[in-house]
């Protein structure tokens, strides 16, 4: 029996060191985890699984002899649920890469697990800039956007145009706190003043009470440090309570094209927002959207979907060159060493702290009369060049950088 057992071990070692079995389990397994049923499921959800699948197909993984499998799961925006899924995925199902994970509280929990287990974590959906700041990890890349970039884009533009007093309506969890903190810093740096804030439970439904407090503050700008249906309902109810007619303006610090679609242009027109990707920005993006939307109930891709596509593409490149997906740190190091280049985000790079660098864009939502077709929603107001779009490396406090 013992001999047989030894033989089995020996043959396993032989197989794993042979040319075709560099990948754990012989398969590169990608786990797309996000909100599949709740407030963030349109901006990430099944669309992110689709984007990952399109990335694998466009990469031509099968033709290159790489076997890639994609699994998806719903974390219900709960850190405990998300942590359990990721542990099961890594320990039992041999998942090598976790991707997307909106809801910063969940992403911060997953960040630690992936670091412990030495796998790879590519963040597209989550926003908290702590992921490349104090909580940065050699196993994590923060891809699409972050709270600092949003604050820098929208905050700077508004304060410079004279909107110098702010009141924050903040979702009461890691993401909202980070967005509020980063935006307040931008406002104060540019000579503006924060008059107050109110933190609402996440997810919320009725925001009228908080909006009334914001109205009472007399601030010129009510900064919405929330996302998804919280932002939708805040904007909708602000219009109901005549806040904009009263002379105050709303700043949707994080809004996605799906939110604008849900609000309708009548309500959303004139909103200013910062995003890293818009489907109608260039031919490559339009072509992607044209392929994506019919497979996603007609819903056009958000920047989160595009980020998943771009991140998975770059991961596959790194794994192909390394011929291994076993050591998460090594894969991420390879990803950082290789300049990024894909059809949706163009050329870019990943910094030592795990921050992916690319331009950000300041958009304004069109008036109903300006929109020629469904999903034709944004006007480009300004492009923030890559080197100014994200928090300077030295300011993040990431331990990976100081050394």
Partner 1 sequence: MFEIFGIPSQALFGQLLLGLINGSFYALLSLGLAVIFGMLNIINFAHGAQYMMGAFVAYFLLNYAGLNYWVALIVAPLAIGAFGVLIERTLLKWIYRLDHLYGLLLTFGLALIIEGVFRNYFGSSGLPYRVPELLQGGQNLGFMFLPNYRAWVVVFSLVVCLTTWFVIERTKLGSYLRAATENPALVRAFGINVPRMITLTYGFGVALAALAGVMAAPIYNVSPQMGAHLIIVVFAVVVIGGMGSIMGAIVTGFGLGLIEGLTKVFFPEASNTVIFIIMAIVLLIRPAGLFGRSA
Q: Draw the binding track, 153-172, toward partner 1 (x: CB under 8 A; -: no contact).
A: -------------------x
Residues in 23-42 that interact with partner 1 by CB under 8 A? 37-42
Least distance to partner 1, CB of residue 232, Å: 5
How many H-runs (helices) and E-runs (strands) does the chain carry?
16, 15
Our CB check for partner 1 shows the closer of 148 and 375 to be 375
Residue by residue, DSSP assigns 173-218 as SHHHHHHHHHHHHHHHHTT-EEEEEEEE-SS-S--HHHHHHHHHTT
- Nearest distance from C-beta of residue 305 to partner 1, angstroms: 13
Task: Note whether 181 binds partner 1 by CB under 8 A.
Answer: no
Q: Give the residue with the Cβ less far from partner 1, 97 or 225.
A: 225
Cβ closest to partner 1, residue 172 vs residue 327: 172
In the complex with partner 1, which residue's Cβ is closer, 203 or 399?
A: 203
Neighbours of 30 (CB within 10 A): 27
Among 17, 18, 161, 266, binds partner 1 (CB under 8 A): 266
Site string for partner 1, 49-68 (x = CB under 8 A): --------------------
CA angle 218–219–221, rounded 5-degree value:
135
- Of the candidate residues 299, 316, 318, 389, the single one contacting partner 1 (CB under 8 A): 299
Candidates 81-89, 92-100, 101-109, 194-202: pick the segment binding partner 1 (CB under 8 A).
194-202
**Cβ 342 to partner 1 shortest distance, Å:** 27
The smaller minimum CB distance to partner 1, of residues 202 and 345, is found at 202
Query: Which positions ≥6 away from 281 have C-beta within 8 Å?
Result: 361, 380
Residue 333 CA to residue 330 CA, distance in Å, equals 5
Helix spans in 245-369 (H) = 257-263, 265-268, 283-292, 303-322, 328-337
Nearest to 364 by CA among 288, 263, 252: 252
Q: Which is nearer to partner 1, 200 or 356 (by Cβ)? A: 200
Instruction: Extract the tokens encoding 370.
Output: 């300006």
- The least distance separating partner 1 from the CB of residue 214, rounded to whole angstroms, comes to 11
Residue 313 dihedral angles phi and psi, to the nearest 5°: -60, -45
Q: For partner 1, which residue of 11, 88, 208, 282 counts as binding (CB under 8 A)?
A: 208
Under DSSP, is residue 262 helix (H, G, I), strand (E, B) or coil?
Answer: helix
Instruction: Select 89 or 166, whichever has its Cβ closest to partner 1.
Output: 166
177-181 long-range contacts, CB within 8 A, separation 24+? 178/104, 178/127, 178/128, 178/129, 178/130, 178/147, 179/127, 179/128, 179/147, 179/150, 179/151, 179/225, 179/253, 179/254, 180/223, 180/225, 181/147
Give 203 or 346: the residue with its C-beta nearer to partner 1.
Answer: 203
Cα–Cα distance between 100 and 56 in angstroms, integer? 15
**Nearer CB in complex with partner 1: 210/309:** 210
Q: How many residues bind partner 1 (CB under 8 A)?
A: 44
- Report the nearest approach of partner 1 to the CB of residue 246 (Å): 7
Binding segment toward partner 1, per CB under 8 A, in 15-23, 70-78, 208-216, 332-340: 208-216
| Stretch 222-261: interaction string toward partner 1, x if CB under 8 A | ------xx--xx--xx--xxx---x-----------xx-x
Longest CA span, the chain: 84
Closest CA to 193 of 154, 167, 226, 156: 167
Bond from prior residue into 203 cis (ω within 30 degrees of 0) = yes
Binding to partner 1 by residue 79, rule CB under 8 A? no
User: Which residues of this chain interact with partner 1, rule CB under 8 A?
Assistant: 37-43, 45, 172, 198-201, 203-206, 208-210, 212-213, 215-216, 228-229, 232-233, 236-237, 240-242, 246, 258-259, 261-264, 266-267, 297, 299
């Amino acid at each position: 029996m013992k001999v047989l057992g030894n033989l089995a071990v020996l043959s396993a070692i032989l197989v794993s060191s042979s040319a075709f079995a560099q990948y754990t389990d012989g398969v590169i397994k990608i786990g797309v985890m996000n909100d599949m049923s709740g407030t963030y499921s349109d901006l990430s959800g099944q669309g992110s699984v689709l984007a990952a699948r399109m990335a694998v197909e466009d990469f031509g993984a099968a033709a290159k002899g790489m076997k890639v499998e994609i699994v998806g799961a719903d974390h219900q925006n709960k850190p405990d649920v998300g942590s359990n899924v990721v542990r099961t995925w890594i320990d039992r199902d041999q998942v090598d890469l976790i991707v997307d994970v909106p809801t910063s509280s969940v992403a911060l929990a997953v960040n630690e697990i992936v670091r412990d287990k030495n796998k790879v974590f590519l963040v597209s959906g989550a926003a908290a800039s702590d992921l490349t700041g104090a909580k940065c990890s050699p196993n994590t890349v923060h891809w699409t956007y972050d709270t600092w970039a949003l604050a820098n884009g929208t905050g700077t533009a508004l304060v410079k145009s004279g909107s110098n007093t702010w009141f924050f309506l903040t979702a009461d969890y890691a993401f909202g706190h980070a967005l509020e903190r980063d935006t307040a810093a931008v406002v104060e740096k540019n000579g503006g003043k924060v008059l107050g804030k109110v933190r609402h439970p996440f997810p919320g439904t009725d925001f009228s009470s908080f909006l009334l407090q914001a109205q009472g503050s007399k601030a010129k700008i009510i900064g919405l440090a929330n996302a998804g249906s919280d932002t939708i309902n805040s904007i909708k109810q602000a219009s109901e309570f005549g806040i904009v007619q009263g002379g105050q303006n709303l700043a949707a610090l994080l809004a996605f094209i799906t939110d604008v679609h849900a609000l309708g242009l009548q309500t959303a027109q004139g909103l200013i927002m910062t995003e890293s990707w818009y489907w109608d920005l260039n031919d490559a993006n339009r072509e992607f959207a044209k392929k994506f939307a019919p497979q996603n109930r007609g819903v056009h891709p958000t920047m989160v979907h595009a980020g998943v596509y771009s991140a998975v593409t770059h991961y596959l490149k790194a794994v192909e060159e390394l011929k291994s997906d076993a050591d998460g740190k090594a894969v991420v190091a390879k990803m950082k060493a290789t300049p990024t280049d894909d059809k949706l985000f163009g050329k870019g790079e990943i910094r030592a702290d795990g921050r992916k660098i690319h331009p950000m864009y300041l958009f304004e939502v069109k008036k109903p009369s300006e929109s020629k077709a469904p999903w034709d929603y944004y006007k480009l107001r300004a492009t923030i060049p890559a080197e100014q779009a994200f928090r300077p490396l030295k300011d993040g406090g990431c331990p990976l950088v100081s050394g």
